[in-house]
């Protein structure tokens, strides 16, 4: 059989850096490409420019093996590679729900003119459906090798914090291809992953693009579904935690992504559902996914409701109050603060005149840089000093371990809002704390009747 293809990975951000390192660790010759010389220099010297467990160790190993190299030159990439993975970002466009695919266009536009022999260009970025079909034409027009160059789509499903595992052992691989040759090339490029038993779905380009946004829309919908139930629970004195636990016993529903609380954030879910709704409207099927607007609205309401809970607990006012915020990252085990519900809540309370102090085990530097107007502290107990209320916003394991007695020694009052259902209300109430959580009743207040 033919030698394994040589791979390039264009765009060495979160997705690209992880993909490049993982593919090299599987034995492929890999060249990472980025226009950002700084990033390339960092990676080449063994530094991962973001927080991802396991990745720095694997980068060191693959660099040492000589199988992984980095460059800023597209000419070098074209010369080197048989299969080129496009891994650049597609952020939300400022002032619009659409996603910005200019980085994808730029990467393909820079690579294609150097493609002088048979090659496969594989998109991994999350894009509006129809992008791959358009890029197929671009590549053919720009590449000296013309029809010899093909385009395929292979969406990426990795989660931050589990990126290495999700890349080496994905739930499935999706190959969107337009020819048998492209299918064979992709199969060769994922040989070790396929041999390890990963199921492969081979389909057309449009379906492959859609799988990604359909999956993320489903996950977002599941979260907003349970959070919508939380709203109903609050109005009826019911408990959404118990409700979710009971639902989860039904295998058809399942308990994953059914955690009620402050809702979803991050660089993917919020932007992907908005871009999907926007794209569906563009192509005349807006009604089919109009529920995604509702999913987004439910998710946003969780943030304002959290602020309301804090205000209620403080007797109706936030101004001048000292508030300890535990968590800044959009989820635990990440330093990512993109569309982070935690910082959204912290900033709103700050805007309403509260004295807000934030602690996060990994995202403090990022938060400080983005929001210098907030105060920051070096530990949970540090920010809780003299606080009128403690608000848990990201469910880091270390917050679950906090001893309510130890915390009560530093705070001004025993009041806590658990925005992530991370704490045991019994334990905290037993220690004399007024405990509040979204979608949960608080029997101590209801004693007098409603």
Q: Should residue 13 be labelled a site residue for ligand UDX when binding is judged by CB under 6 A?
A: no
Q: Applying CB under 6 A, which part among 262-270, 285-293, 367-375, 384-392 lies near ligand UDX? A: 262-270
Q: In the Cβ-directed half-sphere of 103, how many Cα atoms lie within 13 Å?
A: 22
Residue 22's nearest CA partner among 243, 255, 192 is 192
Among the listed residues 190, 264, 399, 428, the single contact to ligand UDX using CB under 6 A: 264
Q: Should residue 273 be labelled a site residue for ligand UDX when binding is judged by CB under 6 A?
A: no
Q: Should residue 331 be labelled a site residue for ligand UDX when binding is judged by CB under 6 A?
A: yes
φ, ψ dihedrals at 79, nearest 5°: -65, -40
Q: In the Cβ-directed half-sphere of 371, how many Cα atoms lie within 13 Å?
A: 24
Site size for ligand UDX (CB under 6 A): 19
- Is position 268 annotated as part of the catalytic site? yes
- Across 188-203, b (16+ Cβ under 10 Å) vs e yields bbbbebeeeeeeeebe
Q: Should residue 419 be labelled a site residue for ligand UDX when binding is judged by CB under 6 A?
A: no
**160 annotated as a binding-site residue:** yes
Q: How far apart are CA 211 and CA 278, in angstroms?
A: 16
**Residues 128-157 within binding reach of ligand UDX (CB under 6 A):** 157
Contact 345, 394 (CB under 8 A): no
Among the listed residues 83, 121, 223, 345, the single contact to ligand UDX using CB under 6 A: 223
Question: Which strands, in side-by-side order, build the sheet including 119-123?
Answer: 68-71, 30-33, 7-10, 83-86, 119-123, 149-153, 173-176, 200-203
Q: What is the 3-state secondary structure (H, E, C) of 8-67?
A: EEECCCHHHHHHHHHHHHCCCCEEEECCCHHHHHHHHCCCCCCCCCCHHHHHHHHHHHCC
Q: How far apart are CA 149 and CA 113, in angstroms?
A: 11
Q: In the Cβ-directed half-sphere of 258, how many Cα atoms lie within 13 Å?
A: 18
Contact 142, 113 (CB under 8 A): yes
Among the listed residues 216, 224, 241, 333, the single contact to ligand UDX using CB under 6 A: 216
- Closest contact distance (angstroms) between CB of 342 and ligand UDX is 9
Among the listed residues 266, 404, 419, 425, the single contact to ligand UDX using CB under 6 A: 266
- Closest contact distance (angstroms) between CB of 71 and ligand UDX is 26
Q: How far apart are CA 103 and CA 393, in angstroms?
A: 33
- Closest contact distance (angstroms) between CB of 61 and ligand UDX is 24
Q: Applying CB under 6 A, which part among 254-262, 305-313, 354-362, 442-450 lies near ligand UDX? A: 254-262
Q: Should residue 438 be labelled a site residue for ligand UDX when binding is judged by CB under 6 A?
A: no
Structure-token pair, residue 403:
């001893």
Among the listed residues 159, 169, 400, 446, the single contact to ligand UDX using CB under 6 A: 159
Q: Should residue 269 be labelled a site residue for ligand UDX when binding is judged by CB under 6 A?
A: yes
**92 annotated as a binding-site residue:** no
Q: Should residue 270 be labelled a site residue for ligand UDX when binding is judged by CB under 6 A?
A: no
- Closest contact distance (angstroms) between CB of 276 and ligand UDX is 13
Q: How far apart are CA 121 and CA 421, in angstroms?
A: 44
Q: Applying CB under 6 A, which part among 140-148, 189-197, 260-268, 435-443 lies near ligand UDX? A: 260-268
- Closest contact distance (angstroms) between CB of 357 and ligand UDX is 22
Q: Applying CB under 6 A, which part among 97-105, 131-139, 179-187, 266-274 lies near ligand UDX? A: 266-274
Residue 248: CB atoms within 10 A of its CB come to 15
Q: Applying CB under 6 A, which part among 45-53, 203-211, 253-261, 285-293 lies near ligand UDX? A: 253-261
Q: How far apart are CA 340 and CA 328, in angstroms?
A: 7
Show binding-site residues for substrate: 157-160, 212, 257-261, 265, 331
Contacting positions for ligand UDX (CB under 6 A): 157-160, 216, 219, 223, 257-259, 261, 263-266, 268-269, 330-331
Which of the residues are catalytic? 268
Show binding-site residues: 34, 39, 90, 126, 157-160, 212, 257-261, 265, 271, 331, 338
Show binding-site residues for NAD(+): 34, 39, 90, 126, 160, 271, 338
């Amino acid at each position: 059989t033919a030698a394994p293809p040589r791979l390039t990975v264009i765009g060495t951000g979160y997705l690209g850096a992880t993909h490049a390192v993982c593919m090299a660790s599987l034995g492929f010759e890999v060249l990472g490409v980025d226009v950002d010389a700084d990033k390339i220099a960092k990676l080449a010297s063994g530094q991962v420019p973001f927080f991802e467990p396991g990745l720095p160790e694997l980068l060191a190993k693959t660099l040492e093996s000589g199988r992984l190299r980095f460059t800023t030159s597209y000419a070098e990439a074209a010369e080197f590679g048989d299969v080129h993975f496009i891994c650049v970002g597609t952020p939300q466009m400022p002032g619009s729900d659409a996603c910005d695919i200019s980085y994808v266009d730029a990467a393909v536009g820079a690579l294609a003119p150097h493609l002088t022999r048979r090659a496969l260009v594989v998109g991994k970025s999350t894009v509006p459906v129809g992008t791959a079909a358009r890029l197929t034409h671009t590549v053919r027009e720009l590449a000296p090798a013309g029809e010899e160059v093909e385009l395929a789509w292979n969406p990426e499903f990795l989660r931050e914090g589990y990126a290495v595992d999700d890349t080496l052992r994905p739930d499935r691989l999706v190959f969107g291809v337009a020819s048998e040759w492209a299918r064979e090339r992709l199969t060769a490029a994922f040989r070790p992953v396929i041999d390890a038993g990963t199921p492969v779905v081979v389909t057309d380009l449009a379906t492959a693009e859609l799988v990604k946004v359909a999956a993320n829309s489903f996950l977002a919908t599941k979260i907003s579904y349970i959070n919508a139930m939380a709203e109903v629970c609050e109005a009826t004195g019911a408990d959404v935690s118990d409700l979710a636990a009971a639902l989860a016993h039904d295998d058809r529903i399942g308990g994953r992504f059914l955690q009620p609380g402050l809702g979803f954030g991050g660089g993917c879910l919020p932007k992907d559902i908005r871009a999907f709704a926007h794209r569906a409207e563009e192509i005349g099927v807006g009604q089919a996914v109009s529920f995604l607007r509702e999913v987004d609205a439910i998710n946003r309401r969780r943030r304002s409701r959290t602020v309301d809970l804090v205000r209620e607990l403080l007797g109706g006012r936030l101004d001048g109050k000292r508030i300890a915020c535990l968590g800044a990252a959009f989820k635990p085990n990440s330093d990512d603060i993109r569309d982070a519900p935690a910082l959204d809540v912290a900033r709103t309370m700050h805007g309403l005149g509260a004295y807000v102090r934030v602690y996060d085990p990994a995202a403090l530097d990022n938060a400080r840089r983005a929001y210098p107007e907030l105060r920051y502290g070096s530990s949970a107990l540090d920010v809780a000093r003299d606080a009128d209320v403690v608000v848990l916003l990201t469910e880091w394991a270390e917050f679950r371990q906090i001893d309510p007695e130890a915390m009560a020694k530093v705070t001004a009052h025993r009041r806590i809002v658990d925005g992530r259902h991370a704490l045991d209300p019994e334990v905290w109430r037993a220690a004399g704390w007024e405990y509040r959580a979204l979608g949960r009743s608080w029997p101590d207040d209801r004693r007098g009747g409603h």
